[in-house]
Structure 1
Amino acid sequence: MKKYILGFIVMGSFATAQNLTIDETVTGPRKYAPFTQIAQQWRKDSKSISFLSADYTSLREKRADNGWRATTLVTKSELETALKDKIPTDVFSLKMFPYEIEWKTASTFDAAISGSKNNYKVTYDINSKKITQVIPSPKEAGQLKIASNNNIAWTKENNIRITTESGTIIEVTNDTNKGIVNGSDYVHRQEFGINNGIWWNETGTQLAFYRKDETMVGDYPIINWNEREAVNNNIKYPMAGMTSENVTLVVFDVASKKSITLQTGEPKEQYLTMVTWDPSGKFIYIGILNREQNHLKLNQYNVQTGAFVKTLLEEKAATWIEPQHALTFVPKQTNQFIYQTDFYGYNQMFLYNTDGKLVKNLGYKDVIVKEILGFDPTATKVNYIGVTNSGLETQLFQVDLKSGKTTQLTSVPGVHTASISSDGTLILDQYSNTNTPNVISVLETKNPSKETLVLKAENPFNGKIDLPKIEMVDLVSADGKTPLHGRIIYPKNFDATKKYPVMVYLYGGSHAQLVNNKWLTGAGYFDLYMAQQGYIVFTMDNRGSDNRGKKFCDVNHRQLGVNEMADQMKGIEFLKSKSFVDADKIGVFGWSFGGYMTTTLMTNQADTFKVGVAGGPVIDWKYYEVMYGERYMDTPQENPEGYAKTSLIDKAKNLKGRLLIIHGAQDPVVVQQNSMNFIEACIKAGKQVDYFLYPNHEHNVGGYDRIHMYAKIADYFNTHLKK
């Protein structure tokens, strides 16, 4: 890979500029956000961009035919008046204009509205200033999905209801056993790209839904301390190697009120992913992934009988397979669909037909498909956001379905988000990079170099905050082969002749990336705060992190944390080569997988790290859940050596530095058993360790308590590392 160093951000000092306060480690991202267009999108069938006003009180627009000047489309008060006229039986008090709207035509949009009695999906006409359609739904509705014919499917506790357009309520399921959960998106613990539990067919006549049977999974205690007498709230938490949930997919016919269970077969402990209706409504496609997560079948099922029809394609891997995306059918070509997979190295698109034949490989170089934006008006090209430049940037691409030719439509270095007007002629491009807080432009698809600037934000810190210098650096992994990307944030008034303590902030696990070519390089405000307090703050994305392809992660199979630690130590080696780094004062902080990495480094590299703060840490992978844990580690029965090697319980005896473990007392993700067992191991080994619980928090600490948490972490470093 060509070496890529972005240089660094240097902000001048101002007489009035100050350091961030500890409160601003939490409030800063909002307080010092670069100016932007909030919730911007193209109006359908127009060359007009809609967005919310800065005070969230109106919907505004910028149009090509008026030089992209801002005008108001509708105010919050006008929308409230229309609601009261159309629904006089309910009370509405909008705190802000609805954030998420969907344009149906050039003049009408849909919005979700909450009233005192019901929730509503309303259609508003900006010309008449009237609401033209109202679809009510119960306040208690959970997973709510509205069909094309306005039937509404929704969940209540563990069951599904349908409210028809006429207002009739149909009981789809009536399971009284709470261990049977219908329609939930929390199936397979939301791994494999699962974010939905119910799916309407195109006509709204049939509903597919997950039925999760977790009666065979043991109850796991989560204590609620807020009651007069503490209450035990049991959850289902299948740990690696233990009995897991059984999931099926059911199809309910609205007219007959009958259900069919698709015959997805045995064994019951398998994963049903990528659920997609065929446009004809006759079939459903499901990705069937075995519990070992190394064999995927894309199957077709008949929705009338539930019978298996055929397997369209299969994938097998020596490590794991992780499907993340449902199928995307091609408009006007209902026998063709786009299938996404990283099986060949990078998540890319492949055009298949419904016979299972590969029509065209749509992949482009090593570009990773991050998001499919949709098709052009002729349905012959696909627009998508792709990750480029060794994971550091995103750009807009367009690929021709017939030829496979790919065109890059944006080019300025940085992290781009983009969308294309419904007529396919204009691009709304927004990007930032290390030196650019926010730029929004309109480009022409036929000539992307022709740019009309819509908004360019000033540096929001100028004259307010003395921002430290940020530098991006390139490193090489422990195997000497793989480029890695890192970031150094320098202390305020940095003097290269002095020596400074170091705080390493890391995550290190899958599906996360901490360093890229966007504003502030992705640094958090606590990172900036600690640099202003006199620390070198260092972050590096080791092998196993996101946006670098499958091989970048595969090295961690059956030994989570081993290669990650080796890479992080290459970062430490780099730091120690700098004369301004105090090698005797290196600390580390991370949360979740980062908490695991922190504790790993504190126990396996005890002579290097003097202070650590581990938030919500995994301590032993046998205490983590089946879906994630077994993907990377297999089961404890299959991989006892790997589990022993990566467990930190027997490493507690190696601890030398000061370690603070923070845990949410109601954490349902990394259960508290992890840190409690490590504390017990420290006691037995005669090792001192500090422990702090946030009683009313789950896996993360939010709200004002987050300020308290950052103050505690900063104080811990100041007390035990800086002095």
Structure 2
Amino acid sequence: MKRIFQIIALFCMIATISSAQEKKTFTLNDVIPGGDNYFNLVPKSMPGLQWWGDICVRTDIENIKKIDTKSGKESILVTLEEVNEALKNGKMPYKLTGHIKPLRTLMAASLPWGDRNVITFTQYDDRTPGQKYMIWYDFSKKKIVNLFNLQGEGPTNFDFCKENGYMAYTIGNDLYVAHEGDFSSMVNPKVTGNQQQEKDVVYGQAVHRNEFGIMKGTFWSPKGTYLAFYRMDQSMVTDYPQVNTTARIAELVPDKYPMAGMTSHKVTVGIYNVKDGKTIYLQASDPTDRYFTNISWGPDEKSVFVIELNRDQNHAQLVQYDAVSGQKIGVLYEEKHTRYVEPQHPLIFLPWDDSQFIYQTQRDGFNHLYLMDTKTKLKGEWKTGKDSEDQYCEYLKTIPLTEGNWLVQDVLGFNAARKEIIIASTEISPLQTNIFSLNVKNGKRTLIGMEDGTHQAKLSASGTYLIDYFTSNNVPREISILPTTGKKGTTLFTATDPLKENYNLPEITVGTIKAADGETDLYYRLIKPVNFDPNKKYPAIIYVYGGPHAQMIHNTRFYDARGWDLYMAQQGYVMLTVDNRGSDNRGIKFENCTFRHLGTEEMKDQVQGAKFLQSLPYVDADKIGVHGWSFGGFMTTNLMLTYPDIFKVGVAGGPVIDWQFYEVMYGERYMDTPQANPEGYKESNLRLKAGNLKGRLEVIIGGMDPTCVPQHSISFLRACIDAGTHPDFFIYPEDGHNMMGHDRVHLHEHITRYFLDHLK
């Protein structure tokens, strides 16, 4: 009997080994976005989920389905066939100038009103190129009930207001508001004076180069009476001479690019009255060198609130303006920091109390929520936060809602009936995002969903339910409807991972090492080669970013490892990533220790990562490479030049070489101006280190990079020539800061070849 069990065990072991050996080898086309097989190997999802009030619906190609929140059962609400029938044969509510194309999919449709059986979508005219319409379809009446003519070619930046039924959008640099019928109003009237100046003024788009949480340029008031918008005058900003080489004779395509220490664009905030079509502008004290961030409205529509930041970015003020006159009413809160203040979130009024709002700040070391009461005024007294470098002055009664050595990442909305705020935070781990309900009265937080992994959520209209998108290193994807009480919900979709199931993948582990300060724990991700042999010596590559507002390691699929990291492990490399001091989600002191000296502390921490690699018995200590893009390109180049005896091969993509060539908002926040911090700019100027290059370094850029402009890398090549060193250089003509589609696959083929050739 014992022998029989031994035979069975041996058979099972052979079967297991055979199964592992049958798993396939993957290619870059399998694991890089843009690759021919990439989307076949990522975990499937359940696209098109949204809320119709408190009813979950799913838009698909052929239909829109309602989903029962308890059972997950689907039932059809709308079909593509019936919508196209209405477009073809139904009477339009307004005269058309052309003919609307049939819809091919309902994926982009939305249901803005929870109490109305209406979907909205946009579609093009099939006779007038670029002409687009916004259409309302009533699926209970099965007819088109409203139509907007979005005048002009190439409308974009759509901002629909469900309260008044108007659509704000932009064409070129102009801002329009459309409403029912064949009509759109231009918010900014054409100026008949200086045509060049008019060409350089932008309305209704994001400003300040999308810093400070700015992602849009229009802001509807709560009832839709007004539209606040940005006006950006760039006429005083220097043009950077980008060149398009696809023309017979290369053409100049200039970018407005304000470099650190130079003149920046001038921003003002307009208020457009929908009823009378008139516009006023907020009367700010000094709109020249000031950032206007995080615009928000009071519930009564009488006030507009703006968090204003000085050019030095070390003094923020929450300012209240009169929405009718544009006059400044007063300052409600101020904050100063010896390094920088970085407002990222607009204030949010409580839906059950119009006199109270939530303000977010890092004054106590981590981003937390503070409840401010407009009914209780304070004289204002400057105090010091838990971050000793931070001072603040409150002119309203303020109560902390959250605190601790973790941060609130986002406010998703409210459950007004329970007087709760739904938040996303790092409370469980800096490697995760978890969703909580926060009771405003007692501060109690209740976890919603699994404790493990990273969660994203969409909240229903009342805040009673949310759609939870959950992933971790062990769970490819799980989508559920969860009650915000913290109770168990309904799982709608669970994905498998075809890459893990069918391909031979490397072992990935996450751990901590000490930073160069000897105290701070840093997270690392280590990937061993596929078919790892502990008796071999392997070359190693550090993949680095290292800059503010980026974190490379999360509890997600492969712990955030990219396809290229996996591929290089298949090629026989040990892959390491370390989130050094200066990166995201660890608090303000963790981030701002790099202030005025970008690269210095970050490199020290990356060297700790290299030493960790050298301590591993299976790593060849003399064969360590480094690769990164953007800030990571800066880090890669800097590491190759500063620590040439450690890092032997590097590939730097889109690198910053000299911070005086980088843009005003980001550059000056972390480095001050070149005039105020000449020592810091000199220390981080990689052109001055060009003579230190010993190993093999390749620099790769997009030919029309609008973020790290080509001047960085070209000036570095000149410096290397003058110093007698020999970097390699590759350019993707007409590409921007990142390569997309096939170019992205080609890029990673090229990077791979460089390491295979020089770091074997």
Q: With structure 1 as the length reference, what TM-score do the two structures score?
A: 0.93
Aligned to 2:180: 165
Moved more, 151-160 or 604-613: 151-160
Moved more, 475-484 or 451-460: 451-460
Moved more, 512-521 or 275-284: 275-284
> SS of 2:668's equivalent?
helix
Aligned to 1:189: 209
C-alpha displacement at 1:211, in angstroms?
1.7
Aligned to 1:62: 67
Aligned to 1:588: 626
Answering whether residue 98 of structure 2 is matched by residue 83 of structure 1, we say no
For 2:39 and 2:403, how far apart are their aligned partners in 1? 37
Aligned to 2:28: 22
Aligned to 1:436: 475
For 2:671 and 2:758, how far apart are their aligned partners in 1? 35
Is 1:666–1:697's contact at 8 Å kept on the other side of the alignment? yes
Distance 1:442 1:243, change over 3 A: closer
For 2:734 and 2:439, how far apart are their aligned partners in 1? 52
Whichever residue aligns with residue 273 of structure 1, its letter is T
Answering whether residue 247 of structure 2 is matched by residue 227 of structure 1, we say yes
Answering whether residue 167 of structure 2 is matched by residue 152 of structure 1, we say yes
Distance 1:168 1:101, change over 3 A: closer
Is 1:273–1:286's contact at 8 Å kept on the other side of the alignment? yes
Whichever residue aligns with residue 147 of structure 2, its letter is V
What count of residue pairs does the alignment treat as equivalent? 707
Aligned to 1:276: 296
Whichever residue aligns with residue 165 of structure 2, its letter is N
Is 1:371–1:385's contact at 8 Å kept on the other side of the alignment? yes
For 1:592 and 1:141, how far apart are their aligned partners in 2? 31
Whichever residue aligns with residue 150 of structure 1, its letter is G
Structure of higher RCO (CA pairs closer than 8 Å, 6+ residues apart) = 1
Aligned to 2:589: 551
Deviation track 1:277-319 (CA, whole Å, cap 9, x = no partner) reads 2222221111110000000011111122221110000010011
Aligned to 2:383: none
Distance 1:598 1:37, change over 3 A: same
Matches within 5 A, 1:316-331: 316-331=336-351
> SS of 2:698's equivalent?
strand
C-alpha displacement at 1:595, in angstroms?
0.4
Aligned to 1:5: none
For 1:423 and 1:293, how far apart are their aligned partners in 2? 37
C-alpha displacement at 1:351, in angstroms?
1.4
Aligned to 2:528: 490
C-alpha displacement at 1:38, in angstroms?
1.3
Answering whether residue 506 of structure 2 is matched by residue 468 of structure 1, we say yes
Answering whether residue 45 of structure 2 is matched by residue 32 of structure 1, we say no
C-alpha displacement at 1:185, in angstroms?
2.4
Q: Which of 74, 79, 83 is 2:78 aligned to?
A: 74
Deviation track 1:667-696 (CA, whole Å, cap 9, x = no partner) reads 111000000111001101111111011112
> SS of 2:714's equivalent?
helix
Distance 1:85 1:107, change over 3 A: farther
Is 1:185–1:194's contact at 8 Å kept on the other side of the alignment? no
C-alpha displacement at 1:480, in angstroms?
1.4
C-alpha displacement at 1:267, in angstroms?
6.0
For 2:403 and 2:702, how far apart are their aligned partners in 1? 43
C-alpha displacement at 1:263, in angstroms?
1.3
For 2:662 and 2:737, how far apart are their aligned partners in 1? 13
Matches within 5 A, 1:200-211: 200-211=220-231
Is 1:11–1:467's contact at 8 Å kept on the other side of the alignment? no
Larger Rg: 2
> SS of 1:461's equivalent?
helix
C-alpha displacement at 1:536, in angstroms?
0.8
Answering whether residue 350 of structure 2 is matched by residue 343 of structure 1, we say no
Is 2:135–2:144's contact at 8 Å kept on the other side of the alignment? yes
Moved more, 486-495 or 334-343: 334-343
Whichever residue aligns with residue 243 of structure 2, its letter is I
**Which ranges of 4 or more aligned residues in structure 1 deviate by more than 6 Å?**
none
For 2:83 and 2:645, how far apart are their aligned partners in 1? 63
> SS of 1:416's equivalent?
strand
Is 1:19–1:529's contact at 8 Å kept on the other side of the alignment? no
For 2:144 and 2:181, how far apart are their aligned partners in 1? 19
Aligned to 2:113: 104
C-alpha displacement at 1:75, in angstroms?
3.6
Q: Which of 303, 322, 330 is 2:323 aligned to?
A: 303
For 2:277 and 2:682, how far apart are their aligned partners in 1? 52
For 1:432 and 1:216, how far apart are their aligned partners in 2? 47
Deviation track 1:586-639 (CA, whole Å, cap 9, x = no partner) reads 111111001000001110011111111111000010010000000000001111
C-alpha displacement at 1:168, in angstroms?
4.1
Answering whether residue 653 of structure 2 is matched by residue 618 of structure 1, we say no
Matches within 5 A, 1:676-695: 676-695=714-733
Whichever residue aligns with residue 188 of structure 1, its letter is H
For 1:591 and 1:370, how far apart are their aligned partners in 2? 25
Whichever residue aligns with residue 378 of structure 1, its letter is A
Deviation track 1:521-557 (CA, whole Å, cap 9, x = no partner) reads 1111111111111111111111111111111111010
> SS of 1:101's equivalent?
coil
Is 1:364–1:406's contact at 8 Å kept on the other side of the alignment? no
Is 1:652–1:682's contact at 8 Å kept on the other side of the alignment? yes
Answering whether residue 251 of structure 2 is matched by residue 246 of structure 1, we say no
C-alpha displacement at 1:697, in angstroms?
0.3
Aligned to 2:541: 503
Distance 1:509 1:29, change over 3 A: farther
Aligned to 1:380: 419
Q: Which runs of 5+ in 1 are unaligned?
A: 1-9
Aligned residues: CA RMSD:
2.3
Distance 1:512 1:351, change over 3 A: same
| Identical aligned residues as a percent | 40
Moved more, 264-273 or 553-562: 264-273
For 1:360 and 1:11, how far apart are their aligned partners in 2? 61
C-alpha displacement at 1:366, in angstroms?
3.0
Distance 1:553 1:36, change over 3 A: same
Whichever residue aligns with residue 312 of structure 1, its letter is L
For 2:603 and 2:592, how far apart are their aligned partners in 1? 15
C-alpha displacement at 1:429, in angstroms?
2.7
Moved more, 709-718 or 213-222: 213-222
For 1:113 and 1:246, how far apart are their aligned partners in 2? 33
Whichever residue aligns with residue 284 of structure 1, its letter is V
For 1:134 and 1:84, how far apart are their aligned partners in 2? 14
Aligned to 2:690: 652
Moved more, 368-377 or 172-181: 172-181
Distance 1:81 1:19, change over 3 A: farther
Distance 1:158 1:540, change over 3 A: same
For 2:183 and 2:124, how far apart are their aligned partners in 1? 20
Distance 1:40 1:12, change over 3 A: farther
Deviation track 1:394-431 (CA, whole Å, cap 9, x = no partner) reads 11111122232222223431101234444544443331
C-alpha displacement at 1:699, in angstroms?
0.7
> SS of 1:563's equivalent?
helix
Is 2:148–2:178's contact at 8 Å kept on the other side of the alignment? no
Aligned to 1:92: 101
Answering whether residue 376 of structure 2 is matched by residue 371 of structure 1, we say no
Q: With structure 2 as the length reference, what TM-score do the two structures score?
A: 0.88
For 1:140 and 1:613, how far apart are their aligned partners in 2? 38
Moved more, 648-657 or 402-411: 402-411
C-alpha displacement at 1:131, in angstroms?
4.0
> SS of 1:688's equivalent?
coil
Whichever residue aligns with residue 405 of structure 2, its letter is D
Moved more, 87-96 or 289-298: 87-96
Is 1:287–1:298's contact at 8 Å kept on the other side of the alignment? yes
For 1:45 and 1:207, how far apart are their aligned partners in 2? 27
Is 1:112–1:119's contact at 8 Å kept on the other side of the alignment? no
Is 1:98–1:112's contact at 8 Å kept on the other side of the alignment? no
Aligned to 2:744: 706
Distance 1:396 1:489, change over 3 A: same
For 2:109 and 2:309, how far apart are their aligned partners in 1? 34
Aligned to 1:407: 446
Whichever residue aligns with residue 119 of structure 1, its letter is K
Is 1:284–1:302's contact at 8 Å kept on the other side of the alignment? yes
